[in-house]
Structure 1
Amino acid sequence: MTEQHGRRAAAPTTPTTPTPGLPAAAPAWRRVASQTAFETRMILRNGEQLLVTVVLPVLLLLSLVLTSFVELDTGGASRVDFVTPGVLALAVMSTAFTSQAIATAFDRRNGVLRLMATTPLGRGGLLAGKVLGVLAVEVVQVVVITAVALALGWDPDLAGVPAALLAVLLGTAAFTSLAMLLAGTLRAEGVLAVANLVLVLLAVGGGVLVPAEQLPGPLQHVALLLPSGALGAAMRGALVDGSLPAFSVVVLLGWTAALGWGASRLFRWH
C-alpha cells in the first residue's frame, strides 16, 4: 500500500502531451483579421469618432465648395478640385492620428493593451490590427468623401490616383506613429486634449487645407516641414497635377522614421 501510494504521488499531475480535442490558437493571419474587424467596428460605431472621421470632413468639404467665406487661390482650378484633396488628407489625419491616439490611450489606461499583449494575438498582432483597422476606416472615408465630391462636380486627374493612394499610405504611417507616441507616453486625458488641439492647429495652419505658400508669414516655411503640409501637398499634387512631389515624400518618410523610433523606445503598455 505504501509503495503504491508513493508511486501515485510521484506520478505527473499534468499530461506531457497536448490533450486531444483541446482547441488550438487560430492562425496568425486570422487573429489579426479578427482584431482588424474589431478595431474598425469600434471606430465606426462610436458616435464621437464617426463625427470626427466622416461627418466633419464632409461638412467641411460642402462648406468650402458651396460658400466663399474662405478665400482660396485655386491656381485656375475649380474650388471642388482644389479643396477635395485637402479634405481627404484631413480625413486621413483624423483617423490615423486623433482617433487612434485617443482610443489607444484609453485602452492603455484601462489595462486592455496589457491584457491583449498576453493573448495569442501578441503585441505585434495587436499593432497590426490597429493599423489595418485605420486603413479600413480610411477606405470608408475616401468612398464617402469621393462620392460627395463627385456629386459637387469634382474632376480629379485620374493619372494621379495611384500617387494619391501612396500619399495616403505615407500619411497614415506618419500620423499613426505620432498617435502611438502620444498614446504610449501621456495620460489618457492628456492625449484627449492634445490630440484634438493638434488636429485643429494642423488643419488651420499646417498646410493641409490651404497650401503652405498661401499661409501668412513664417507659417509658410514651418508648414512645408510638417507632416500635415507634406500630406496636403502630396494629395493636391497627385489629384490636381497628376504627380507626387518628391519633397513631400521625403518629409513624410522622415517623420515616420523619427516618430516610429520614438514610439518604439518610449511606448509603455501599462
Structure 2
Amino acid sequence: MTAQLANVAAVHADEPSMPGIVPATLARIKVELLGFIRNPQSLVFTVSLPLLLMLIFGSVFSGPVEGTDVDFRQVFISGIIAAGAMSTAFSGLTISVVIEREHGIIRRMASSPMPKSAYFIGKVLMVLITTVLEVALLLLVAVLLFQLDLPATAALWGTFIWVLLLGTAACTMAGFAYCALIPNAKSAAAVTTPPFMILQFISGVFYPFHMLPGWMQTIASVFPLAPMTRGFRHVFLPDTFKAVEAGGVWNLQGIVVTLVAWIILGTFLTAITFKWRGPRVR
C-alpha cells in the first residue's frame, strides 16, 4: 500500500500544475500588450485612425449644429471618442482573436494548464488599457487643437469613466461573440469593418444624432455605440444640448441598461459559440 501511494504521489508530482488565475492573467496581459505594440500595422490602424479622423473633420467642419449654439466640432469629438473606444474593443479585438484562432494559438492555450478564463480576462484588460491610452491621446489633441471643454465637475468625470468602462466592456464582449460569424483570418477585416462603419454613421459620430431619421435613431440605440456617444455628449457638451436629444433628456439610466445588457448578451453568446480552434487547426 505504501508503495502504491508513493507511485501515485510521484505521478501527480510529474503533472504540470495549474497556474493560479491571477498570475496566468497577468502573464496573458503582458503577452497581449507586447504583441499589440510589436504589431505596427494594428497599432497605427487602431489608435491612429480615430485621431486622423478627428484632425480631418475638426479642421474641415465648424459652426453651430442646427437647433443649438454648440460647435459641430465639439459634438463630433464626443462621438469620435466613443468610436475610438469601439475601434479597439470591437474591431481590433475581433480581428486579433480570429487570427489567433486560425493559427492555432488559442487551441494551444486551451490545451495548456492555463485557465481558459485567463485568456478572456487578459484580452479584456489589454483592450481596456489600450482604450484608455487612446482616449487620453484623443482628449489631449481635442483640448489643444479644438478647445474641447473638459468636464467641470467630479460627477461628470465619474459619468465619463463609467460610460467608457461599460462601453468598452460591451464592445469587447460583442467582439468575442462576433468572432463566431467570421470563417477565417482573411475575411476578418472584411466582415468586421462594415457593421462598425455603419454604426458610426447612424450613431451620432459623423452626423448629429438628433438630425438622423427617427427609424435610424431607433436602430442605432439598440447597439452600444449610440449610448456611448450620448453619454459622452452629456459629459462634454453644455447641458442645454439635451434639448435636441430624444425626449429632451440625457437618459443616463437607459445608457446603463443598454450597455450592461450587451455585456450580459455578449458573455452568454461567447460562452456558447466561441471556437478554440480554426477550421484548419488539428
Q: Is the 8 A contact 2:221 2:227 kept in 1?
A: yes
Say whether 1:121 aligns with 2:114.
yes
Q: Is the 8 A contact 2:63 2:71 kept in 1?
A: no
Cα deviation 1:26-59 (Å, max 9, x = unaligned): 5432221121122122223322322222211111
1:12 to partner: Cα distance: 9.6
Query: C-alpha distance in 1, partners of 2:229/2:211?
Result: 13
Secondary structure of the residue that 1:184 maps to in structure 2?
Answer: helix
Paired residue type of 1:178:
A
Query: TM-score with structure 2 length normalisation?
Result: 0.81
Query: C-alpha distance in 2, partners of 1:85/1:155?
Result: 11
Query: C-alpha distance in 2, partners of 1:225/1:25?
Result: 41
Query: C-alpha distance in 2, partners of 1:44/1:72?
Result: 38
Say whether 1:246 aligns with 2:240.
no
Name the counterpart of 2:271: 264
Name the counterpart of 2:226: 229
Name the counterpart of 2:242: none
Cα deviation 1:158-201 (Å, max 9, x = unaligned): 32121111111111121111111121343123332111111111
> 11-20 vs 125-134, which deviates more?
11-20
Query: C-alpha distance in 2, partners of 1:248/1:231?
Result: 7
Query: C-alpha distance in 1, partners of 2:104/2:79?
Result: 36
> 103-112 vs 213-222, which deviates more?
213-222
Paired residue type of 1:269:
W
1:17 to partner: Cα distance: 4.4
Name the counterpart of 1:142: 135
Paired residue type of 2:89:
A
1:147 to partner: Cα distance: 1.2
Query: C-alpha distance in 1, partners of 2:218/2:148?
Result: 30
Secondary structure of the residue that 2:237 maps to in structure 1?
Answer: helix
Query: TM-score with structure 1 length normalisation?
Result: 0.84
Cα deviation 1:41-87 (Å, max 9, x = unaligned): 22233223222222111111112222128984483233443222211
Say whether 1:84 aligns with 2:81.
no
Name the counterpart of 2:189: 192
Stretches of structure 1 that go unaligned for 5 or more consecutive residues are 1-9
Task: Report matched runs for 1:69-108 at 5 Å.
Answer: 72-73=65-66, 75-108=68-101
Q: Is the 8 A contact 2:86 2:168 kept in 1?
A: yes
Stretches of structure 2 that go unaligned for 5 or more consecutive residues are 240-249, 278-282
Query: C-alpha distance in 2, partners of 1:205/1:176?
Result: 20
Size of the alignment, in residue pairs?
Answer: 261
Q: Is the 8 A contact 1:184 1:269 kept in 2?
A: no
Paired residue type of 1:190:
S
Q: Is the 8 A contact 1:61 1:87 kept in 2?
A: yes
Query: C-alpha distance in 2, partners of 1:125/1:39?
Result: 12
Cα deviation 1:132-153 (Å, max 9, x = unaligned): 0001101210121111111121
Say whether 1:154 aligns with 2:151.
no
Bigger radius of gyration among the two = 1
> 204-213 vs 109-118, which deviates more?
204-213
- Percent of paired sites with the same residue: 25
Of residues 198, 202, 211, the one that matches 2:199 is 202
Query: C-alpha distance in 2, partners of 1:27/1:94?
Result: 31
